[in-house]
Structure 1
Amino acid sequence: MRYRPGNLTHSIRRQISPNKVEKMRRIIWQATISTVGENAALFLAEKRLILFSDNAPKDIRDYCITHHGGELIQPLSVRQKMALFGITYSLSAIGDVASQNLKELGHITLLFDGAEKAELPGTIHLIGPIPTTLLAQGNITIFEE
């Protein structure tokens, strides 16, 4: 079959789903989870999780989810989403230094409360359920659709 404009797109759309075209994701930041600190789940009672790169100071690693491999390609925005533990969240508010902290330290605090104004400068507020299981596997992905 010879290529003609439109044929390839139509073919790809049909392979994805006969009646639906999936949205493309543009990855803004993605890291692989390394460890879940022994006490990281304690913060879930406050609707929080702390993320830190593998370079986290030893005295706080037990309270964090550590990760590696993340590179932030643009500042965080409320138009973005986060995929974590099989759940997709919408970003509802972003602290003033959250992008900088994520880029330089791999550090942010996630707050699962859907707030429209950031509580603290390094916090990202998310819309969605509080995770019930913390696994030391998989990716954390921030993306745009």
Structure 2
Amino acid sequence: MTTSDSQVVWESEVTQVGGQVEAFLDHGLLIFFGDNAPAELHDMSVLHRAAISDDGPRAGDLLLVGGTEMEVLAVGHVVRDNLLNLGHLDLKADGRTEPNLPGDVCVRTGDLPLLKAGDTFRITRPAGSDQEN
């Protein structure tokens, strides 16, 4: 899917939200896994099923998480492979411009949304962006 302004590189639908997800939100953390993740990860994760899985996030991309849009500030070096292979991503609202851990995706400091089944998780890339992670 492409528009003149941006390209969707990832899009998925939330299938389940674990019981502990809200507690992690209090610490600025939202953990995603593909809906085929092992059962022991379900309680702490947002499970989702990809419809578009062309790439992982890069700094400067926009995330739509539920109804909340935010700019990606930093991306760890294993994020792309984790997302494409496992549907896994650790979203941290810490405002960092350099990731603390190799699996971090950093966005502005603030509240992350509590998702529900049926919500959208989307990554869009500005048109003409050739920035690397």
Higher relative contact order structure (alpha carbons within 8 Å, sequence separation ≥ 6): 2
So what's the TM-score if we normalise by structure 2? Answer: 0.85
Q: What does residue range 1-145 of structure 1 map to in structure 2 within 5 Å? A: 24-127=5-108, 129-145=110-126
Structure 1 segments unaligned to the other structure (5+ residues): 1-21
Distance in structure 1 (CA, Å) of the matches to 2:113 and 2:124: 22
So what's the TM-score if we normalise by structure 1? Answer: 0.78
- Contact (CA 8 Å) 1:98, 1:122: kept in 2 or not? yes
Identity %: 26
- Match for residue 129 of structure 2? none
- Would you say how many aligned residue pairs link Structure 1 and Structure 2? 124
Structure 2 segments unaligned to the other structure (5+ residues): 127-133
Question: Which structure is higher in helix share?
Answer: 1
Q: How much does 1:69 deviate?
A: 2.0
- Write out the 4+ residue segments of structure 1 that deviate beyond 4 Å after TM superposition: none
Larger Rg: 1
Question: Which structure is higher in strand share?
Answer: 2
Q: What secondary structure, in the 3-state scheme, does the structure 2 residue paired with 1:50 have?
A: strand
- What is the root-mean-square deviation in Å for CA atoms of aligned residues? 1.8
- Contact (CA 8 Å) 2:31, 2:90: kept in 1 or not? yes
